Amino acid sequence: MGHFATLGSGSSGNGAWVETETEGFLVDCGLEAEELTNRLRSIGRTWKTLRGVVLTHVHTDHWRDSVFGELVVRRIPLWLHRRHSGQLNWRSEYFHLLEKNELLRFYQENQWFAVSPRCRFLPIEVSHDSEPTFAFRIETLAGSLRAAIGYAADLGCANERLLAALTNVDLLAVEFNHDVELQRQSGRPWPLIRRVLSDKGHLSNAQAAALVAQVLQRSQHSPHYLVQLHLSEDCNEPELAQAAIQPVLQRHHSPIQVITAPRHHPSPLLCLKPPPGD
């Protein structure tokens, strides 16, 4: 089957590696090209198997212009929503070259799109203050076996369509951004605190745990992995994020492996395993 790893997760840069048996894709490219090269190498991968990048939104911790330049040179396509284009046109030096070289691919909300014959994405618009922002259900195929990933990196609250898309996945990757009390006591400017805590900001540990609980309640099988994404460097700790999810896992008697995505280096490379009987 395929594999999944985060390459970086947090305000310093976001990117995740999704792999079928023969090719790889990035969800976001928020690391400079040289650093991305190093982190791919650290999980035993290179640019040679990269077949595309899928963009969630245009906050600058989710894309880097140096990566866009590499995509042009290597003729690797970028998938994005059409509403992302306007902002990238004036913020990126290389974006127009992606367009000129016919390397842009546009997806539409709530419609599956195939990045290869063995990998497809379903984009779900979520509430965040970079509009539009998308979460994804990602499915990979190996022979007759299909594995599913639910990926939601930046959002202030969940909606019904998102919950449905995250149900019955084999790997669930969800933002656990902050601890509310640490956020309120952080000394940050109040407008920033209010923005993070709003429905267009980021999920707290408690909100993320509640989202996972709803997904598990709706699912016929539990994911093998829960990956905690986008922890705040100033307003969260891995121990707090992990403690928040434990009561949910205990209530559902779910033997789920919890991985808290590191900010500055890759996570372990996780094998995507479909549920028994698939």
Q: What pLDDT, in 10s, does the model give residues 85-142?
A: 999 999 999 999 999 999 999 999 999 999 999 999 999 999 999 999 999 999 998 7
Contacts of 241 (CB under 8 A, 6+ apart): 176, 205, 208, 228, 231, 260
Whether 124 maps to a domain, the answer reads: yes
Residue 64, domain extent: 3-263
Residue 80 placed within a domain: yes
CA 82, CA 153: separation in Å to the nearest integer? 20
Q: What is the pLDDT of residue 21?
A: 85
CATH code of the domain containing 23: 3.60.15.10
d(CA 247, CA 266): 27
Peptide bond into 132 cis (omega under 30): yes
- The predicted model gives 173-186 an average pLDDT of 97
Residue 59 lies in a domain: yes
Does any domain span residue 195? yes
The verdict on residue 274 lying in a domain is no
Distance (Å, rounded) from C-alpha 83 to C-alpha 162? 20
pTM of the model: 0.96
Residue 275 inside a domain? The answer is: no
**What's 275's DSSP letter?**
P
Cβ proximity of 17 and 51 under 8 Å: no
Identify any residues that bridge with 141 across adjacent strands, giving them in sequence order.
146
Domains in the chain, number: 1
Question: Does any domain span residue 270?
Answer: no
Q: What angle do CA 197, 203, 207 make, to 5 degrees?
A: 105
As a whole number of angstroms, the distance between CA 15 and CA 45 comes to 14
- Residue 22: the pLDDT is 87
